[in-house]
Chains A and B, each alone.
Chain A
Amino acid sequence: MKKIQWQIASVKAIVQETPRVKTFTLQLPDWIPHLPGQHYDLRLTAEDGYQAERSYSIASPPEQTDEIDLTIELIDDGEVSSYLHDGITVGDPLEVRGPIGGYFVWKDTMATEPLVLIAGGSGVVPLMAMLRHRAQIGATNPTVLLFSVRMDNGVIYQQELERLAEQNTNFRLLLTFTRQPPNGWTGYQRRIDKEMLQEVMAPLNGQPNCFVCGPTLLVEQVASALVDVGLPFERIRTERFGPTGT
């Protein structure tokens, strides 16, 4: 297997997903098919040689060839995310390496088993690659996305997720708003807890594969709640994105 190398991607498109989140489409000279859930490392180099490296999950499915989508949340005072949001335009070069990671991935061999995806904030990104790939291969396994967001305007990929839920009766989209729900909202309005997980998993037959991604604290709390509701450890895969904002 060849070593992964840094390569210079070119920014092909930038889409504003929510007020604080943008998707960057990167054209890659050396695109390698990825598994949904994998990430790329991104490296910025200053003129004096100082470098900053961060990981970003791939949002696009492997069917989208020669390029990858990275969806990046603006973090206040964030070194890398604020540079990407404020300093990058279409046509700019960006240094990346990947695809990386063989653990937090949804494999085609899982396509017949129930799937539970749990995200906090930008943690939805690798799960979106799984949902997009799942749609592309026409999988009909019972699937649910439980997505924790703070506010009404914070639902990344909202339209696409709603469309996927309409098109595929075996995919359910469940949102929970932790701060400011939309007007007239009747769904969940609290942090993900044991009771919520029990309700979400109840309609699924058999033990689902479960992927949890987002801020470190959310991931750890959800993972231990999943064990509490009886899901075996081996069925739970987690990916920590780092600090929980304020």
Chain B
Amino acid sequence: MITDTDAIDLALRLDGNAVAGDFQALVGFDVTMLQMVCTHCLKEGIFANLLAYVRGPGIVLRCPTCEGLVLQLTKTPLGVVVYVDERTDRVPNETLLNAINQLL
């Protein structure tokens, strides 16, 4: 039995690829190969390599390098709420954000 919250988080960790279906349904294209920039550590990477936590009320995507929050998506009965962390002027990915913004 795992009791420690960190250990549970670790065990339940998936990758960006695991949430590709939800994002593709939302924005209409495969997001896995999109170049992403982490707003915290500014490292570049691709969507598929983000850390994904999917067992909460929504989907949380974190940077594989610094574990900073990159994207959060919550499904509600009324629709989908997307939260993108934007502490700097560098955004995770313009293609993805534009697509999401058009939906909201």
Contact = CB atoms under 8 A, between A and B. Distances in A.
Contact of B11 (A39, A100, A239, A243): A243
Contacts of B73: none
A97 B32 CA distance: 16
B24 A240 contact: no
Interface residues of A, number: 23
User: How many B residues touch the partner, as a band?
Assistant: 20 to 34
A244 B32 contact: no
Interface stretch (A10-18, A67-75, A101-109): A101-109
Contacts, number: 66
Interface string B25-45: 100111011000000000000
A101 B33 CA distance: 9
Interface in A83-131: 97-98, 100-104
A104 B22 CA distance: 17
6 contacts: A41-B22, A101-B32, A101-B48, A103-B46, A243-B12, A244-B11
What 5 A-B pairs come out closest when comparing CB atoms? Answer: A103-B48, A103-B32, A41-B21, A243-B11, A100-B21
Interface of A: 1-4, 39, 41, 55, 97-98, 100-104, 216-217, 238-244
